[in-house]
Structure 1
């Protein structure tokens, strides 16, 4: 009886094998479940496909990843770097109950670094009930295996990334400085304008270098790339809402010519303005 009580119980445990080429182009889920762990339940690996993400619902546990050993408490999530040596195990005195999911897709480590922005890969989830509900929906999808399961799993992974990222945002840091708000507001009202560095600095009341540093610190992008992104969104709106020629839209949005628009549009969306207009219009 004592040995039975020490066994890890898996109330949910699902595996999925997508088509071979799928993970080169989109994210998916390889495994997911829920475990009520025994004190001696320890997993250690040199490396493993995909990325394991664990959410502690009760108890406590530990993860070792990227040379760090981190404690994980209830309402906390840990993301393991499976491409390196990693491990996870429960607290011997208070073994955790853990939800787990293994994702895979194009360059998972880049996604992990983007979400955590260089910080330790443990996050306190601000909406744990929402995350548990997300796992519930994931289990239903994996049980049903309906047509379109790959697209559904891809969407669920995207939702998970947003849930994690939202929990990492510091409200004090998320408010932009007043100088940057002024610049962004004016650029957004007229993205077709050239917005040279001197003009941006004048709006911000700072030097050009200080304005550029504000963009990098708070928006993680240069003023030029931010402006191009706004122009692309403006072009998308015009492509759908008007019959104007692409060359006219390029000029209206501040691009040098139609070739400049096409190059930046394809870089952002993966397709040309004409193809995008046809597909989105339909």
Structure 2
């Protein structure tokens, strides 16, 4: 279709799809998508759009402004915009990019998480590989018999890769590896927030912020989860009593262990032990 937006060159294309009710309720779906070649003057400003936007910058640069924050993306970088917020994006010169609007049942939480963690622009040494995933999404969405499940899978693949950027993993290891290793080797003993903060050479508030940023939980929640994981292995793979397992996994008492286990799983340790896996 002919594109009337200012600054969009003739080689560009844009198309639309109509997702099924099932896709709207259970999958990621892409109702609008395209491949644009633009020159300076391409400038989109919106107050609000009930969709999210992913762009892969093939060449050139794109500047994005959302809620007073401004960032610029370049070649082989990915842009994520929450279009529910007031936003603007524009080219600074000749720019080629792939794009699609998307939504789905888990989008709001996932997009909020990604932007809070990493912002709107994503960089990765191997992000050039994701260009092919963008092209697959556009091809499937364009097809008269496009596979909605495959589109959802491809969108999820992009989001997962953005969440698991090498920069993110490296930063987490640099900051938290001493604490994580201490929990792994000493989970059977009492572990305090002071212990973990001292090992990482940071303050307790900063430690908590880092756990929330990189692991989406507090240090206490991570320690509890690790202890419960070990307890499940023992419940299924040993003849130890619940009391013995509670002690071996660092819980103060069997009753504390049972309360924590039920809170996390909805069943008691004894009920878990009787399950058939």
Query: Normalising by structure 2, what TM-score?
Result: 0.70
Deviation at residue 215 of structure 1 after TM alignment: 2.9
Equivalent residue in structure 2 for 1:224, among 209, 220, 224: 220
Find the aligned partners of 2:274 and 2:128 in 1 and give their Cα distance: 39
Contact 1:262 1:272 in 2 (8 A): yes
Which one of the candidate residues 197, 207, 220 is aligned to 1:215? 207
Query: Which ranges in structure 2 are unaligned for 5 or more consecutive residues?
Result: none
Following superposition, the deviation at residue 107 of structure 1 comes to 5.8
Q: In 2, distance between residues paired with 1:43 and 1:219? A: 37
The answer to whether the 8 A contact 1:176-1:218 is kept is no
CA distance in 2: counterparts of 1:252 and 1:216, whole angstroms: 26
Q: Distance in 2 between matches of 1:201 and 1:84?
A: 38
Mapped contact 1:55–1:100 kept (Cα < 8 A): no
**1: distance between equivalents of 2:239 and 2:157?**
34
Deviation, 1:227, is: 0.4
- Per the TM alignment, residue 13 of structure 1 is displaced from its structure 2 partner at its CA by 4.1
Instruction: Answer with 155-164 or 246-255: which moved more.
Output: 246-255
After superposition, the C-alpha distances for 1:35-94 in whole angstroms (9 at most, x for unaligned) are 123445543322112311111112333333222343332122222121122233334x41
The answer (yes or no) to whether the contact 1:47–1:82 under 8 Å persists in 2 is yes
Between the aligned partners of 2:21 and 2:225, the Cα distance in structure 1 is 33
* CA distances 1:200-237 after superposition (whole Å, capped 9, x unpaired): 3698397xxx5634632543343311201212332444
Q: CA RMSD in A?
A: 4.1
- Cα offsets for 1:221-270 (capped at 9, x unmatched): 4331120121233244446656878787556534513232110235xxxx
TM-score by length of 1: 0.69
Structure 2 SS opposite 1:175: helix
**Alignment coverage as a number of residue pairs:** 260
2:50 aligned partner: 49
Q: Which runs of 5+ in 1 are unaligned?
A: none
User: In structure 2, do the counterparts of structure 1 residues 43 and 263 end up closer, same or farther at CA, with 3 Å as the change threshold?
Assistant: same
